[in-house]
Structure 1
Amino acid sequence: MPTSQLPRALFAMDPAHLSELFPPRLMHRLQSLTVVDAALVVRDFGDPAIAGALAEAELLLTGWGCPHVDSAVLDRAPHLRAVLHSGGSVRGWLADAVWERGLTVSSAVRANALPVAEYALAAILFAGKGVFGLRERFRAEQAPPPADALARIGNLGRRVGIIGASQVGRRVLELLAPFEFEIALYDPYVDDATAAALGAVALPLDRLLATSDIVSLHAPDTPETQRMLDERLLGLMPDGAVFINTARGALVDPDALTKELVSGRISAILDVTEPEPLPGRSPLYDLPNVFLTPHLAGSLGNELERLGRTVVDELQRLVAGEPLLHTVNHAHLVNSA
């Protein structure tokens, strides 16, 4: 297609991410589909220097660090017809006006869900084998654990409870399918038939927590899910159960979780906490039954290219007049991350 017929696009994100999202081979492909200046990355839509580019833009290619797109921005972008987001959630970046004016919105949320799900899968498998606790014991005693400790480990038939059939939760369910787990799912928006199709048995939250050996949290961070796991619910988990959180720390009562972990009754694998990071005085840094990582489950390093590739693939469909695969339904945002 001649350059004169290509849509004009504008990057809006933290420029630090641009080269990781769109390395040279991907940038070349992107620039064969749209007219875009890789040296112009918007951090402030009010900057007079970008007024001309914004006025001509038909597409916004956004990512982490994108300034808020609201009615005032849209007023200065009369030709804008689509926003292709290279991050996960678009909440916080895009105002309702984007959908109200009929713009198409696409997100790489499914691509970003994959590394989180991979982390969760690894955590579940290691938890079932008792890897984290036995590592601490092995390091302290410098001797193989006794037979009675090994008798309690293993993943055959272990009950794994998944909280939230989000994009990440569904990816985790897909990844768990080849293993011989019993899988339970709690999601207030998922019925029994849908849960079964996802490879799980739908359970109320209380029962899931009370009967699962491993619980992995994948609910979205919304006003309704804030502190959804409180002292009562955490107290339902069986002695020796493992709690995994790759969602958001705000979904769990931090004092209640700390109390349970300090007691040693349950264990946890936490990629996210409340607050984040934890203060230096937090006992969670030193507890042998807690495995902490610094919010690294999501796309990082070379995984960012997958997000950029999702955007370029969507752009190719848009230019070809084909339906996009990853459109964001505005009505679903209230119940999603």
Structure 2
Amino acid sequence: MEVKPKVYAASHPQPLSIVFPAELMAELNETVELDYQGEGPVDYSRLDASIDKSTVALIGQMDLPRERLVRMPSLKAVFNVEGNFYQNIDYDYCFKNNIHVLNCGGAYSQAVAEMSLGMALDMARGITREDRRFRSGKETYLADGCRDSVLLSGSDVGFIGFGNLGRAMLTLLRPFGCRIHIYDPWVPDTVIETQGCIPASLEDVLAHNRFIFVFAGVTRENQGFLNKTMLEKISRDAFFLLMSRAAVVDFDALNTLTSSGYFSAAVDVFPEEPVSPGHTVRKNEHMILSAHRAGGIPQAFSLIGRMVLDDLKLILRGLPPVRMQRAQWETVKSFASKPAG
């Protein structure tokens, strides 16, 4: 009887059934001998009792210090199905022993980009604001209700960050004919220019664009880099969209500036989640609020499962993964995202 490769899964905060719907789950079980601990946080006593020299892959975001990794000499890959590179893995050991640490963040890109586009159009045309006014009997009809409306088409647009999210957003914006200015210190100017965009400094992106999309990941070096001084460079008629990680922004300053009408914002991520019931941001009429909903749609989760399966099969054949994002020695230790859920 064929002995299948052994895979251990502890996928919290997402149940494995969301990442692997029935058809994908059947394919996974055909490919490997799956040991799924079930829902809930990682049960480390069970994990340690289950892993051994025959374990070839892990699915989840479990802590992997050297002393745990050395017990799995056949380990070939760790599949993160939440979306971030956390500092709970001995990356040096993984790189030295040719263990792929893979991230599914790209699976959320299309969903976040579409949400970003929707929020930008909402702010440009005052859609949710006017809905609230209508429900309270304060609506204004025809042109009188559009005095501050603008077109996204042909506008100057700024991106802060040009990774997975920025590139997905660029595709959606192309039909609008925008002039897109990009700040990303990890991306060469020539790459930005090849995409038909304009490399720009952070100050220029903030000061000279009507729509500003924040797609930057958070690292040890850039936490809070969009501070009050930087945010004050934004023009009063601009729309600021925080779609990636709240830790890159001085959130109190953002809330204060927008509350006073300095500029408008849309926010999908917050420094602490859930946001406290009494937080002043709930009363901010110049900010569209979304409870970290941009990426986590069913289609994104099933895409993660498909990506894991595709790369797992390649790795088992002795080939490199091509679907998921690989941890890079030069950058992975810089990431500082907080776990979701």
Determine if the TM-score, normalized by the shorter chain, exceeds 0.5.
yes
Aligned to 1:92: 87
1:110 aligns with 2:110: no
**What's the CA shift for 1:150?**
4.0
Aligned to 1:19: 17
**What's the CA shift for 1:40?**
6.4
Q: Against the structure 1 CA distance between its residues 19 and 7, is the aligned structure 2 distance closer, same or farther, given a 3 Å change threshold?
A: same
SS at match of 1:72: helix
Matched AA of 1:92 = Q
**What's the CA shift for 1:68?**
0.5
**What's the CA shift for 1:39?**
5.7
Query: What is the 5 A alignment of 1:111-190?
Result: 111-140=107-136, 141-144=138-141, 146-147=143-144, 149-150=146-147, 152-190=149-187
Aligned to 2:233: 236
Matched AA of 2:22 = P
How big is each residue's C-alpha offset from its partner over 1:280-326, in whole Å with a ceiling of 9 and x where there is no partner? Answer: 33332122221111111122445311111110111122233333113
Matched AA of 2:100 = T
Residue of 289, 306, 309 corresponding to 1:309: 306
Alpha carbons 2:12, 2:42 under 8 Å: kept: no
**What's the CA shift for 1:60?**
1.3
For 1:253 and 1:221, the matched residues in 2 are separated by: 13
Overall identity of the aligned pairs, in %: 26
Query: What is the 5 A alignment of 1:49-68?
Result: 50-62=48-60, 66-68=61-63
Alpha carbons 1:136, 1:288 under 8 Å: kept: no
For 2:255 and 2:13, the matched residues in 1 are separated by: 38
**What's the CA shift for 1:7?**
1.9
Question: In the comparison of the two structures, how many residue pairs are matched?
Answer: 332
Give the alignment's TM-score, normalised by structure 1.
0.89
For 2:43 and 2:146, the matched residues in 1 are separated by: 60
Q: Against the structure 1 CA distance between its residues 334 and 78, is the aligned structure 2 distance closer, same or farther, given a 3 Å change threshold?
A: closer
**What's the CA shift for 1:52?**
4.5
Alpha carbons 1:51, 1:76 under 8 Å: kept: no
Matched AA of 1:263 = S
Alpha carbons 2:218, 2:248 under 8 Å: kept: yes
Residue of 45, 48, 53 corresponding to 1:47: 45
Aligned to 1:283: 280
How well do the aligned residues superpose, as a CA RMSD in angstroms?
2.5
Alpha carbons 2:51, 2:71 under 8 Å: kept: no
Q: Against the structure 1 CA distance between its residues 45 and 134, is the aligned structure 2 distance closer, same or farther, given a 3 Å change threshold?
A: closer
Give the alignment's TM-score, normalised by structure 2.
0.88
Aligned to 1:31: 29
Matched AA of 1:12 = A
How big is each residue's C-alpha offset from its partner over 1:124-181, in whole Å with a ceiling of 9 and x where there is no partner? Answer: 2322333244434444423315448346421221111110112212222222222221
SS at match of 1:275: coil
Structure 2 unaligned spans of 5+? none
Deviates more, 1:258-267 or 1:85-94: 85-94
SS at match of 2:175: coil
1:73 aligns with 2:68: yes
SS at match of 2:18: helix
**What's the CA shift for 1:261?**
1.3
Matched AA of 2:290 = T
Alpha carbons 1:113, 1:168 under 8 Å: kept: yes
Deviates more, 1:176-185 or 1:326-335: 326-335
Alpha carbons 1:9, 1:58 under 8 Å: kept: yes
Alpha carbons 2:14, 2:82 under 8 Å: kept: no
